[in-house]
Amino acid sequence: MTLIVTFLGLLAITFVIGRVVPIDPVVAIVGDRASAATYEATRLELGLDDPLVVQFMRYVGQVLHGELGMSVSTGRPVAEDLARVFPATLEMATIGIIIGVLLGVPMGVFAASQQGKLADQVIRVIGLAGYAIPAFWLGLVGLVIFYANLRWVGGPGRIDFFLDGTVPPRTGLLLVDSIIDGNWDALASAVHHIILPATILGFFALAYIARMTRSFMLEQLSQEYIITARVKGVPERLVLWRHAFRPIRVQLITVIGLSYAGLLEGSVMIETVFSWPGIGNYLTTALLNADMNAVLGATLVIGAVFVGINKASDALYRLLDPRARS
């Protein structure tokens, strides 16, 4: 029931956004030089003369049937466009969150074990940098250093232009499709291109995860059972990972879930800088072209993903913590 109410709220928000923005959807379709008769006919065809309640109910029905309207920019159904671009964002964000978890969690645990020492200060500065450095600036600097000068990574885009279109889009995930197709040249090129933007996204995830892990660990390390374990001579490695880390796993699930959702919805700048054909780049292009169907469709998908990840985090929470099941 909560999921249904949340989704209806998301639909209501996107519907209101589509009505309050200073962009006329009719003008976006027919152009500003269309005749008054053409304008009025298109307006009636879109149902914009109906009461808002009727328009909202029609909008809900269309969304439930997977109809998000036509994109003015591409001339294709928005749902089809989103199915094409979303896997690119999903692939990059997934690699980014993996990097963030694999590095951020150990860094947070280590920082807590070294509270007040140099290592702790360095990790805290890294975490602060993840909050302070703009994504677009870090992306541009990364391109200048690692692509333009050192040639360690690929440039903008998802794959080298001469390999574009050589991999059949079975899943939309280029790395997976390259492996399925056995196209190792395409796989190497895709890895070469994704490593820098995914690492930058991973850095921002790392900063948040490391900071929260450190905070959770410090709370646990101050508990009496940790002091007792140390007095009994339990090795510090076991104190950290077996005694202190286990209780915070449930909290970290929520943190990681929020980080992952944040990468999926917050990759607009990175995708713009790297010309990455994902949902963020699609949304930016739609905004510049006043393509409200595409904007609302992308916003709705991002919101639905956010809600879905939160629900998945809650399910894992209950799985790991029996107390939450009741």
Give the CATH number, domain containing residue 271. 1.10.3720.10
Instruction: Answer whether residue 90 is part of any domain.
Output: yes
* 173 found inside a domain: yes
Domain boundary among 38, 64, 90: 64
In a domain, 75, yes or no: no
Could you tell me if 234 and 298 lie in one domain? yes
Q: What is the pLDDT of residue 324?
A: 57
Q: What is the pLDDT of residues 251-266, one digit of tens each?
A: 898 899 889 988 887 6
Report if residue 71 sits inside a domain. Answer: no
Q: Compute the C-alpha angle 246/251/255, nearest 5°.
A: 125
Is residue 72 domain-resident? no
Residues 28, 110, single domain; the answer is: no
Average pLDDT, the chain: 85
First to last CA, the chain: 18
State the Cα–Cα distance between residues 237 and 255, nearest whole angstrom.
23
| Number of neighbours of residue 248 by Cβ within 10 angstroms | 21
pLDDT of 287 reads: 79
Structurally, how many domains does the chain consist of?
2
Using only C-alpha atoms, the chain has a radius of gyration, in whole angstroms, of 24
Q: Quick check: helix, strand or coil at residue 73?
A: coil
Q: Among positive and negative, which fits the CA dihedral 129, 134, 138, 141? A: negative
292, pLDDT greater than 80? no
Together in a domain, 162 and 59: no
Asked if residue 212 has pLDDT above 90, the reply is yes
87 and 53: one domain? no
Structural domain boundaries, residue 99 = 82-325
Tokens standing for 262?
């944040």
Please check whether residue 215 is in contact with residue 230, taking contact to mean a CB–CB distance below 8 angstroms. Answer: no
Q: Phi-psi category of 77—alpha, beta or left, where left has phi over 0 and alpha has psi -120 to 50?
A: beta
Q: Give the torsion sign (CA, 42, 48, 54, 55).
A: positive
- Report yes or no on 213 lying in a domain: yes
> Looking at residues 91-99, what average pLDDT do you find?
94
